[in-house]
């Protein structure tokens, strides 16, 4: 109820621990007044991820919604829909046995100099079971660490790369059997980009962890052994079940997440069934 009263234009029902919230009272296929967009941005910064049930969206409607929320970001290594270069179809065909796209903990495209601030994922076809998406609360995971440890993390930077999945030796380059999505791999994926380990969120001005098993490979200035140990500790800490929410999809459901506040991880478990989602990312600045 407290969540509902804070917003004038939308109904926001947070999960009990405040991480993630369901939003109703808005028709996302319409153009939104400035107050509604402000409410949506506030709710996203507060809860990290929002889900909106029963929101059918055409390709054009999905793009229009995203553009109202902010400038759109880029999508390296994955081919977008032919007539809609901003929309990536995250698709797995019933007979497909390839690695699940996004199936490791990550923050979208964190290997870019300016990683996307937010991602919108719209469910087109949902399998009868499986295909959930896991989200972990990287802000609370940071805030529950001890003060001296947080102080140390606030002064560290880490390098991110797309090489693990998208490099010429990466796992997408080696696999066969993908049919639903076109993924482009190559040596340019091995470039490194350095970001703070716990940047300050531009809206809330609170820190959250910004490293992931998917893309973060080294702590700047640390030996490999030290760096591996810290990154493994942080990965295990952030993905502890007390910080994780498992999101179960319905057709026409939209989820928006803030890539500076969550890591996410797609799950499988629906072999024999189609799963099809449409995804747009919103541009973000350099984490600092």
Query: Applying CB under 6 A, does 266 fall inside the site for ligand SIN?
Result: yes
Complex with ligand SIN: residue 12 or 263, whichever CB lies closer: 263
140 binds ligand SIN (CB under 6 A): no
* Nearer of residues 3 and 104 to ligand SIN, judged by Cβ: 104
Query: Measuring CA to CA, which residue among 208, 229, 207 is closest to residue 218?
Result: 229
Minimum distance of ligand SIN from residue 7's CB (angstroms): 26
**Residue number, 193 or 259, with CB nearest to ligand SIN:** 259
Half-sphere exposure of 261 (CA within 13 A, CB side): 24
By CB under 6 A, is residue 87 in contact with ligand SIN?
A: no
| Alpha helices per DSSP H over the chain | 2-5, 34-47, 59-69, 138-143, 147-154, 163-166, 171-174, 224-238
What are the two backbone dihedrals, phi and then psi, of residue 28, each rounded to the nearest 5 degrees?
-75, -15
Dump strand ranges (E) for the chain.
11-14, 21-24, 49-52, 88-92, 118-125, 133-137, 157-160, 193-196, 216-219, 244-247, 254-258, 262-266, 275-282
Which residue among 279, 280, 282, 284 contacts ligand SIN (CB under 6 A)?
Answer: 279
How many residues form the binding site for ligand SIN (CB under 6 A)? 9
User: Is residue 254 a contact point for ligand SIN (CB under 6 A)?
Assistant: no
Among 45, 90, 123, 198, binds ligand SIN (CB under 6 A): 90
CB of 155 to ligand SIN, least distance (A): 30
Residues 6+ apart with CB under 8 A from 92: 98, 100, 101, 180, 181, 270, 274, 275, 276
* Between 110 and 133, CB nearer to ligand SIN: 133
According to the binding rule CB under 6 A, does residue 66 interact with ligand SIN? no
b/e for 114-127, b at 16 or more Cβ within 10 A?
ebbbbbbbbbbebb
Nearest distance from C-beta of residue 223 to ligand SIN, angstroms? 31
Q: 133 or 193, CB closer to ligand SIN?
A: 133
How far is Cα 198 from Cα 158, in angstroms, rounded to an integer?
10
Radius of gyration over every alpha carbon of the chain, rounded to an integer in angstroms: 18
Residue nearer to ligand SIN on the CB measure, 195 or 279: 279
Establish if 133 lies at the interface with ligand SIN (CB under 6 A).
yes
Among 102, 116, 167, 213, the residue binding ligand SIN under the rule CB under 6 A is 102
Interacting residue ranges for ligand SIN, rule: CB under 6 A: 90, 101-102, 121, 133, 264, 266, 277, 279
């Amino acid at each position: 109820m407290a969540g509902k009263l804070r917003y004038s234009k939308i109904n926001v029902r947070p999960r009990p621990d405040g991480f993630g919230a369901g939003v109703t009272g808005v028709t996302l296929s319409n153009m939104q007044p400035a107050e509604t967009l402000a409410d949506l941005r506030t709710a996203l910064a507060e809860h990290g991820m929002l889900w909106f049930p029963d929101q059918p969206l055409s390709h054009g409607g999905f793009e229009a919604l995203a553009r109202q929320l902010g400038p759109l970001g880029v999508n390296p290594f994955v081919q977008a829909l032919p007539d809609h270069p901003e929309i990536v179809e995250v698709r797995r065909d019933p007979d497909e046995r390839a690695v699940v796209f996004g199936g490791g903990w990550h923050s979208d495209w964190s290997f870019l100099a300016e990683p996307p601030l937010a991602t919108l994922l719209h469910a087109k076809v949902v399998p009868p079971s499986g295909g959930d998406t896991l989200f972990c609360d990287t802000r609370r995971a940071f805030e529950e660490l001890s003060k001296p440890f947080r102080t140390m993390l606030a002064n560290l930077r880490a390098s991110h790369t797309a090489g693990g999945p998208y490099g010429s030796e990466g796992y997408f380059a080696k696999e066969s059997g993908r049919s639903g999505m076109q993924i482009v791999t190559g040596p340019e994926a091995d470039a490194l980009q350095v970001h703070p380990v716990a940047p300050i969120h531009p809206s809330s001005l609170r820190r959250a962890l910004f490293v992931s098993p998917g893309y973060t490979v080294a702590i700047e200035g640390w030996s490999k052994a030290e760096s591996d140990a810290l990154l493994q500790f942080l990965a295990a800490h952030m993905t502890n079940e007390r910080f994780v929410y498992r999101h179960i999809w319905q057709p026409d459901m939209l989820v928006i997440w803030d890539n500076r506040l969550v890591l996410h991880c797609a799950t499988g478990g629906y072999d024999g069934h189609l799963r099809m989602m449409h995804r747009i990312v919103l541009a973000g600045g350099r984490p600092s």
